[in-house]
Amino acid sequence: MQMIKLSVIALAVAAASTQMAVASQQSQSNGFIEDSKLDAHARVLYMNRDFRNNHDMEKSGERQSYREDLGLGLKAIYESGFTQGTVGFGVDAFGLQGIKLDSGKGRHGNGLFPTDGRSDKAQDNYSQAGGAVKARISNTTLKYGEQFVDLPVLSTDDARLLPETATGFLITSNEIENLELHAGHFTALTAMDQTYHDSTENKIFGDKEKVTLRSLDLVGGRYNFTNDLSAAYFYSDADVGHKNANEARIKKHYTNVNYNLPLANAQNLNFDFNMYNTKFNNKDDSKKSTNNVWSLAAAYNFLDAHTLTFAHQRVTGGNDGGYVYGYDGGGAVYLANDVQYNGFHQKGEKSFQARYDLDMATYGVPGLSFMTRYIRGSNIDSGTRNDGKNWERDIEAKYVLQSGVAKDLSFRVRQATYRANDAANKADNNEVRLIVEYPLSIL
């Protein structure tokens, strides 16, 4: 990882010394207090998963075939401005609170709440607080501490009541016009349903024991060639493991190309290509493997209301787990067919998606939208068979209030149906999520 650490230092020096191509953000700073922001966010989430009486849950031996939880998640996020001067300093802080509204020992297990070790029930509430210090020179910012990250090779998930958090430092540079660069070093992840560091665990080598993130270095960026064409590349080098498990080193490359083609009469085509190349090295038994996964999506928007999307995704390589993520955050899977329940990125899998989106603003109902999609996968390699098949159908409706005292209050219903044959190695599931969210800008 020494090369990556040197690259991080080099990026910071280069960004600070490069002739500026854009106006300096730091020179426009109004001050620590003057540019401060305080946002609050409330989320009520009801979630149930019905695994169709499957008593071989994902081949894990777990016998709970129905899960149902209801909870309230509260977030307060403060971001200070930067002090004035050549180098500006500031702080970010957050407070998170999760409250159980309904669950039970026989229904708990959707990842909304921590589990009490004595009663094996969901905890009634849990909370977390954290923060980071930051410094800015020109258009380059260095942040160190506990933070939320959204990059292709490190992305903290926010799909339950409260988000994951990552601990480390991150440099973001916008010194060159149309180019954004990132570099960082992280040492811990906190899971969505936990409040302590190193609580995010993943299986890296097939059915081997779960491991946690020890360290992850990343570097990469995105360049906008035009308003309609951009490309990105990111690289990460991670160590995972803990005292009772195998150690592994994982190197991941990510590439993206996005192109938007405007057409006449309020129409446009968008093409989005994503690819990950991952190399695994098990330090204990010298086992090495690779995984490649790519997706290509084409979206056609017309009449400002309708969007048709078609996508293809394919997995190659010898790693038994297919594409592996989670040690780098539950959101580190920028792929077209990673959807509500399934990701369609098992070993050898090929999948196709058809999707339709409808924005009702064009028809006089602003804030109301609908979505439905269908994904089918095949050629899954389970080790003994390579004829695994699966499919998922998702339906979603969302409404956001457009005005009044409750402006931006949203209501969303999400339903997923998943089916697979025995070779796909994953249990059937019927899933429903009801989500109510209210964001509030205080400062």
156-188, pLDDT tens digit by residue? 999 999 999 999 999 999 999 999 999 999 999
% of the chain beyond a pLDDT of 70: 91
Handedness of CA 273, 398, 342, 356 (dihedral sign): negative
DSSP E strands in 113-247: the ranges are 125-137, 140-147, 150-151, 154-155, 165-173, 179-190, 201-202, 211-224, 229-240
Band of the pLDDT at 4, cuts 50, 70, 90?
A: low
How confident is the model over 12-17, as a mean pLDDT? 47
Instruction: Give burial (CB, 10 Å; 0-12/13-18/19+) of 291.
Output: buried
Q: What is the pLDDT of residue 2?
A: 52
pLDDT at 296 over 80: yes
Residues comprising the chain, all counted: 443
Alpha carbon 320 to its chain centroid, in Å, reads 22
> In sequence order, what E strands does 225-305 have?
229-240, 248-263, 267-282, 288-302
Q: How many domains does the chain have?
A: 1
pLDDT surpasses 60 at 397: yes
What is the pLDDT, as a whole number, of residue 16? 45
pLDDT interval class at 120 (50, 70, 90): confident
pLDDT band at 107 (very low <50, low <70, confident <90, very high): confident
Give the model's confidence band at 6: pLDDT under 50 very low, under 70 low, under 90 confident, else very high.
very low
pLDDT digits (tens, 9 = 90+) for 214-251: 999 999 999 999 999 999 999 999 999 876 667 889 99
Q: What angle do CA 334, 339, 345 make, to 5 degrees?
A: 65
Considering all CA atoms of the chain, what is the largest pairwise distance in Å, rounded to the nearest integer?
A: 64
pLDDT digits (tens, 9 = 90+) for 125-164: 999 999 999 999 999 999 999 999 999 999 999 999 999 9
Hey, what amino acid is at 300?
A: Y
Q: Domain range for residue 147?
A: 2-441
> What whole-number distance in Å separates Cα of residue 246 and Cα of residue 282?
7
**CATH number of the structural domain spanning residue 433:** 2.40.160.10
Whole-number mean pLDDT of the chain?
A: 91
> What is the structure's pLDDT at 21?
54
d(CA 300, CA 226): 20
Q: Where are the alpha helices (DSSP H) in 257-364?
A: none
Q: Which one is predicted more confidently, 242 or 330?
A: 330
Query: What band does 311 get if pLDDT is binned at 50, 70 and 90?
Result: very high
Instruction: Strands of 80-159 (E only): list them.
Output: 87-102, 125-137, 140-147, 150-151, 154-155
Given phi > 0 = left and psi -120 to 50 = alpha, else beta, which region is 361?
alpha
Q: Calculate Rg over the CA atoms of the chain.
A: 22
pLDDT at site 200: 85
Looking at residue 57, its pLDDT comes to: 52
